[in-house]
Structure 1
Amino acid sequence: MRDFSKELSYKTSRSSGAGGQNVNKVETSVTVMWKIAQSALFQEDEKNLITAKLSNRVNQEGVLQLTVSEARTQIQNKKAATEKILELVNKSLLQPKKRKPTKPSKGQIEKRLQAKKQRSEKKDNRKFRF
């Protein structure tokens, strides 16, 4: 897991929702921003992969944004936002293993056909005959 927290920038704003007077006067909501293209820790192909996988969170200037307003304090929200963006980027870099196509074994095929035959015979026996 790569730690690019030094490249992050933060912006605070007032949170919405419950919190009483605290919500109206304190800027507890934190928006964390990261300029993907200017990162020194990632190679170009990794930057392209991040941009492609997180395209719904990246704006036109190539800035990845994430807003957190879960906690009542700005410090907790800043910590949570940093952890979330690090996790998000590192997850986007993971590439799933390629699936190897397999064939069912002869035993499995035989078992399936036998089960079909039994089911067919059972239903045949239900028919009313004169």
Structure 2
Amino acid sequence: MSIPVRVRGSVVLPDTELLWRFSRSSGPGGQHVNTSDSQVELRYDLAASTALPPVWKERALERLAGRLTDGGVLVVRASEHRSQWRNREAAAVRLSALLSEAVAPPARSRRATRPSRGAVERRLAEKKRRSDVKRGRSGGFD
């Protein structure tokens, strides 16, 4: 039984493109800590993937370039839980969040706007008032 890794919308990564590895977690544990492989490493070959649309794949390769290893492999590790199953879930959620953020469309560029005449006048009036207040403080005592 595997955990589905949903990217965005109806796009789900097939199990054949995911490689799970298990190893011993570091840190404190119980009596079986030296015998159980609870740390999870999830590897996804983004460069060779056929599950993503070409536009998404190109966008993800560009945005995740700093995280990719071995020519386009995305690696996610999880070891915060003592249970291997919960670490598997955590790794799948982390991979899903990384990919959904990476394939998101770029943000719309900001349209330049001008402040209204009233806003400009209010700002200048406030500057004048503050200037008068400060000028009033500098008067010498006679």
Q: When the two structures are superposed, what TM-score results if normalisation uses the length of structure 1?
A: 0.90
CA deviation vs aligned residue, 1:68-103 (integer Å, no higher than 9, x gap): 011111111112111210111011112222211111
Q: Which residue is equivalent to 1:81?
A: 91
Question: Relative to total residues, which structure has the larger helix share, 1 or 2?
Answer: 1
Q: Which residue is equivalent to 2:25?
A: 15
Contact 1:5 1:82 in 2 (8 A): no
- Number of positions where the alignment pairs a residue of Structure 1 with one of Structure 2: 130
Gaps of 5+ in 1: none
Q: Which residue is equivalent to 1:29?
A: 39
Matches of residues 101-116 of structure 1 in structure 2 within 5 Å? 101-116=112-127
Deviating more after overlay: 47-56 vs 110-119: 47-56
Q: Which residue is equivalent to 1:4?
A: 13
Whole-angstrom CA distance in 1 between matches of 2:100 and 2:111:
25
Contact 2:41 2:91 in 1 (8 A): yes
Whole-angstrom CA distance in 1 between matches of 2:18 and 2:108:
30
Amino acid at match of 2:122: K
Gaps of 5+ in 2: 1-7
Mark the CA change 1:99 to 1:22 in structure 2 (over 3 Å): closer, same or farther. Answer: farther
Contact 1:5 1:86 in 2 (8 A): no
2:50 matches 1:40: yes
Aligned CA-pair RMSD: 1.6
- Which of 63, 68, 83 aligns to 2:73? It is 63
Shift of 1:31: 0.3
Q: When the two structures are superposed, what TM-score results if normalisation uses the length of structure 2?
A: 0.83
